Amino acid sequence: MAVPITLEFSGGAELLFANQKKHSIELPGSQKWDVKSLLPWIRDNLLQERPELFMQGDTVRPGILVLVNDADWELMGELEYEIQPNDKIVFISTLHGG
């Protein structure tokens, strides 16, 4: 059973995803998805360029803020958070300054 979720990239992170901010996707397969397995999936399926600006090791690059359903992912268990259908996950890059 596929899991439908919404991904959003902003603060400059969208530049790595062909300048598209919102992505509605379906995670394939019947296994359970968590953020830890979502990140490499994004890298392999959505990311257009420069993976090193998005991921570092098995987590996001320092300076990218992650929100799960508008709450800081630190409150949700970070990589261990188990993705539910219709979740909204937002990646905001804070590296651009301003």
Partner 1 sequence: MCSVQEEAIPQQLNQLTGKLQCVKCRRDVPVVVTRVNDAFCQDCFLVYAVHKFRSAIGKSKVIVPKEHVLVAYSGGPASSALLHFLQEGKKEGKLRFTVTVVHIDELALVSVSDKERQEKVQEVVEIVQQRGFPLLLTSLECAMDMVKPEAGESSQAPEMCKEVTSEKEVDALANPDKGDKLKKLLDSLPSISAKEEFIRVLRNQVLLGVARERGFTKVVVGDTATALSVRIMTDMAKGKGSQVSFDTTIGDKRYGDVMVVRPIRDLNMKEVEAYNRLQNVESISIPHIADQWHKSNSIEQLTAHFIHGLQENFPSTVPNIVRTSDKLGHQDIESLPEKCSLCESPLDTDVGEASALRAVEVCERLLQKDGASRSQSQAAQSSDCTQHDRVAADNMKASLCYGCRLTVKGLRDVSLLPTHVVQKSQSRCLSRDEMRAQISEFLLDDENGDTPNS
By CB under 8 A, name the binding residues for partner 1: 11-12, 14-15, 50, 53, 56-57, 61-63, 65, 67, 70-72, 74-78, 80, 90, 92, 94-98
Cβ-based nearer residue to partner 1, 9 or 33: 9
Neighbours of 54 (CB within 10 A): 21
Least CB distance from residue 50 to partner 1, whole Å? 7
26 vs 72, beta carbon nearer partner 1: 72
Minimum separation from the CB atom of position 51 to partner 1 (A): 13
Q: From CA 39, how far away is CA 79, in angstroms rounded? A: 9
CA nearest 24: which of 8, 1, 47? 8
Nearer to partner 1, 46 or 67 (CB): 67
Closest Cα partner for 13 from 40, 48, 45, 59? 48
Identity of the residue, 21 or 43, whose beta carbon is nearer to partner 1 in the bound complex: 21
CA pair distance 48, 23, nearest whole angstrom: 13
- Beta carbon of residue 11, minimum distance to partner 1 (angstroms, whole number): 6
